[in-house]
Chain A
């Protein structure tokens, strides 16, 4: 690990004053400290934001909920408001990492975590456009079993590893950020980028901005939602494919549908086509199958991950079945 200067911010203003091009915010450290040990991240300065008053979960006047950026993943997952109104988010959080890591990781940090692509994570691989822009993408012709089937480019086929972010995308969350130029809100569905020809950029947050909260709008999904995570072992592993599915029903008919997938793209993948295919329809096997098909439309498998197409499709179907109460 490179040497760095460490400061601890006591206020949001102090944190914003302390950030700069060679500095990073330190929250739970579960991803940043790991990447620093691997020399993937080499900040010269760390600004510890864990003491900032961003640890509340509170109902909003609109009937939604606001989650502070420093709320630990485990606290969020077990909070009565989240479990009551957004069980999908609770489930997604509980699917991630391990109990120890969930106790450390923060809402903001979870959004900011970086890909687990082998060629990004191990600096011995010198071709990684995300780490070294313009150097190439070793995964494209390499072993790409865990990589993207949707939205990738020929410069980067990495996936975003977060479970929480998939649920936030499905729930149409808003990410509140604060920068020197003021506050703004970024929809969760637009927080993470597609790689395109800028794979070195994971998110649409500016380097001098700080996530302060995530806000969830009210919704009617609590009764019918499900987070499904499919992985190579039963726990403590990243998703091959994951699905956050949520439904609002009028009797047997779908009023609103949300389907977001993890493990398939550089960002949580909202399957809008699949959602539209369900709205106004009876939630039967045929409708679910149509939606599942639509969810992988445009999929482009790589040499080692063709199985993800079928897996994603079937996982969407399964998640919808469980969410709809049929399974």
Chain B
């Protein structure tokens, strides 16, 4: 197509033709003979027990094959909790008892010959509850905070002596920032087709983690993992909500077993608010202390976020705090408030998206307190080493990002006083923020095959959720093998392929890329030694130290964000016509798909800044806007110009392809940048997201 297909080239996606033709097969689209349709039924109270489910009418309706409830669902080992190991193995709702823990919790599955029959029957269950008290008010729940547990690192981290440093500081900023509950809303609803053939189970599942889904379901059902196969060549967006195998996956398998037919269970859009995770709300208290010359001497960052009453999940908003600026004294704390809602989960840039909103806003407030340009303040506090640990960076080119972004944006033309820039009716504001995301990688395996016809097939059990995995792995393979990319076919999304980690944490390229390279190098060796097709070689790659503490370097990506907002001061309308960003993310593997990833992340950031919010009805605990008409994600008209770039960088200290991963960094910093630009335009500091017009009127 275009570009030779070497690493870095803007090669058009190799899976693109299938997608534009409508021929890419997603989970619910696999043809499975004899499939029946399962529909999930959910509770309508937030806490208590199911007193009775009367399915008499439903069971007699046309085409109905099964009504599965806690009364007749297969009994699972350990009451369905065999795979529970938060946050990887979730606490699920598998109809093992009558408990109801949140409004919208799965409590039954109805299976029928057609979707229409199943949906209708599902509406004919007569369900009675015994309601119990529910915790539905965050402001109440936070009065009894629980200790948090982070996925990486401790929930409390102190370095230096923040208390004393704050006392010595010339200038302080002390503010509370809040972000709301959100839901991922990928375009493809979650769905699973479960097919049993004897004791073997195949799951066509919309997932970011085929091997995780396999292990979870196998363990939960109490069957050997080798009896389970998960297939997912294409997933229609995940953003974190398809990283765990949620209740519907195992429920589909249970229903299929019980009904004696394959079952396709696809969630309706409203069912994606609660049972499959979302981002919890956060309340973040930041205290910053600085000297007159702009050096920040200390910061304290306390975060409260909510979780469910039955599983702890922590949104790690203090994670970026430990890395962003050169503050010599820091004190970060995370706590949880338990509520009768669905368990939150990883949502694009967990912790980094929310933490950077608070930090970047606070830094901006400090800049105004000091009378200093906000970009200058950031440069002055640039972290040359990781502040919380003192470790050097594996590679960091943030200064170049600030310089490049500022130049392309025209930052030097900014007039500092809030409200000083106008265009007719519009107030104009320019804001800056730093973007950041940690670099992760995990062990991955791949296999490279030379076919008799001279083509090559490379496989890994990884995922492509629009991230470009098919394409970059094809490029890595082609370059390593020394063949044109057209000769390479990369396959993924099948647990029959060599194991790869979750496509989450922006780590697929950094994990699978080196494994692909290793497999292709091993194949080349065999070819050079005289091997003839068909020939195959395996390869794997793993990070030297998986444990954060043992690493010698801090591995993190950064970026500089500049944006222009326009505010109509009379009507409160806020628009973001222009965003310019430059990133330091290690090596870019494909210029075309990388640009798309950055832009997509920024669009997510704009959604977070301007409009996204899941609203909980305080009396019933039901999310009132559980649909795409009222839960607002950006539409095309919300998005203006987004110009992204990156610095040349090759982080071979991190892995041998030099790439750190880019899936999530795009969202970070955006909400802070928007809030900062809004302040610059209006003089109003909005500390709670989303920045809706009622906050600007």
**Which B565-601 residues sit within 8 Å CB-CB of chain A?**
570-573, 575
Q: Assess whether B624 is in contact with A235, with CB atoms less than 8 Å apart.
A: no
Give CA–CA (A238, B630) in the complex, Å: 9
Given contacts A122-B626, A141-B619, A233-B611, contact A315 B571 (CB under 8 A): yes
Q: Assess whether A232 is in contact with B572, with CB atoms less than 8 Å apart.
A: no
Is A114 engaged at the interface, CB distance under 8 Å to the other chain?
Answer: no
Q: Assess whether A122 is in contact with B573, with CB atoms less than 8 Å apart.
A: no
Partner of A1, one of B116, B624, B632, B692: B116
Q: Assess whether B611 is in contact with A310, with CB atoms less than 8 Å apart.
A: no
Is B636 engaged at the interface, CB distance under 8 Å to the other chain?
Answer: yes
Question: Nearest Cβ in chain B — how far from A220, in angstroms?
Answer: 28
> Chain B residues near A311 (CB, 8 Å)?
571-572, 693-694, 697
Q: Mask for A229-240, Cβ within 8 A of B = 1, else 0?
A: 010111111101
Is A307 engaged at the interface, CB distance under 8 Å to the other chain?
Answer: yes
Given contacts A2-B120, A233-B632, A240-B693, contact A119 B570 (CB under 8 A): no
Q: Assess whether B624 is in contact with A118, with CB atoms less than 8 Å apart.
A: yes
| Chain B: CB-nearest residue to A37 | B119
Q: Assess whether B571 is in contact with A230, with CB atoms less than 8 Å apart.
A: yes
> Chain A residues near B622 (CB, 8 Å)?
122, 124-125
Partner of A233, one of B571, B619, B634: B634
> Chain B residues near A315 (CB, 8 Å)?
571
**Which B640-697 residues sit within 8 Å CB-CB of chain A?**
692-694, 697
> Chain A residues near B618 (CB, 8 Å)?
142-143
Question: Nearest Cβ in chain B — how far from A163, in angstroms?
Answer: 15
Partner of B693, one of A1, A230, A238, A327: A230
**Which A92-149 residues sit within 8 Å CB-CB of chain B?**
116, 118-119, 121-122, 124-125, 138, 141-143, 145
> Chain A residues near B625 (CB, 8 Å)?
118
Q: Mask for A35-58, Cβ within 8 A of B = 1, else 0?
A: 000010000000000000000000
- Chain B interface, DSSP helix/strand/loop, else mixed: loop
Q: Mask for A216-232, Cβ within 8 A of B = 1, else 0?
A: 00000000000000101
| Chain B: CB-nearest residue to A310 | B697
Given contacts A1-B116, A142-B617, A310-B697, contact A233 B624 (CB under 8 A): no
Partner of A142, one of B103, B610, B619, B637: B619
Q: Assess whether A122 is in contact with B624, with CB atoms less than 8 Å apart.
A: yes
Q: Assess whether B624 is in contact with A234, with CB atoms less than 8 Å apart.
A: no
Give CA–CA (A115, B519) in the complex, Å: 59
Is A318 engaged at the interface, CB distance under 8 Å to the other chain?
Answer: yes
Chain B contact residues (Cβ within 8 angstroms of A): what range? 35 or more
Is B635 engaged at the interface, CB distance under 8 Å to the other chain?
Answer: yes
Q: Mask for B223-259, Cβ within 8 A of A = 1, else 0?
A: 0000000000000000000000000000000000000
Question: Nearest Cβ in chain B — how far from A263, in angstroms?
Answer: 13
Q: Assess whether B629 is in contact with A232, with CB atoms less than 8 Å apart.
A: no
> Chain A residues near B694 (CB, 8 Å)?
145, 307, 311
Is A314 engaged at the interface, CB distance under 8 Å to the other chain?
Answer: yes
Is B21 engaged at the interface, CB distance under 8 Å to the other chain?
Answer: no
Given contacts A1-B119, A2-B120, contact A142 B636 (CB under 8 A): no
Q: Mask for B537-576, Cβ within 8 A of A = 1, else 0?
A: 0000000000000000000000000000000001111010
Q: Assess whether B693 is in contact with A142, with CB atoms less than 8 Å apart.
A: no
Give CA–CA (A143, B626) in the complex, Å: 14
Q: Assess whether B572 is in contact with A1, with CB atoms less than 8 Å apart.
A: no
Is A3 engaged at the interface, CB distance under 8 Å to the other chain?
Answer: yes
Give CA–CA (A307, B573) in the complex, Å: 13
Q: Mask for A2-24, Cβ within 8 A of B = 1, else 0?
A: 11000000000000000000000
Q: Assess whether A122 is in contact with B571, with CB atoms less than 8 Å apart.
A: no
Q: Assess whether A142 is in contact with B634, with CB atoms less than 8 Å apart.
A: no
> Chain A residues near B529 (CB, 8 Å)?
none
Give CA–CA (A83, B606) in the complex, Å: 35
Give CA–CA (A140, B615) in the complex, Å: 16
Given contacts A3-B120, A142-B617, contact A307 B697 (CB under 8 A): yes
Given contacts A124-B44, A143-B624, A318-B570, contact A232 B611 (CB under 8 A): yes
Q: Assess whether A234 is in contact with B575, with CB atoms less than 8 Å apart.
A: yes
> Chain A residues near B634 (CB, 8 Å)?
233
Which residue numbers of B lie inside 8 Å of A, CB to CB?
A: 44, 103, 116, 119-120, 123, 270, 425, 570-573, 575, 610-611, 615, 617-620, 622, 624-627, 629-630, 632, 634-638, 692-694, 697
13 A–B contacts, CB within 8 A, in A order = A1-B116, A1-B119, A3-B120, A39-B123, A124-B44, A124-B620, A142-B624, A145-B694, A233-B632, A233-B634, A235-B635, A310-B697, A317-B570
Which residue numbers of A lie inside 8 Å of B, CB to CB?
A: 1-3, 39, 116, 118-119, 121-122, 124-125, 138, 141-143, 145, 230, 232-238, 240, 307, 310-311, 314-315, 317-318, 327
Q: A1-B120, A119-B624, A122-B626 are in contact. List 8 more A-B contacts (CB 8 A).
A: A1-B116, A122-B270, A122-B624, A124-B103, A142-B624, A235-B635, A235-B636, A236-B635
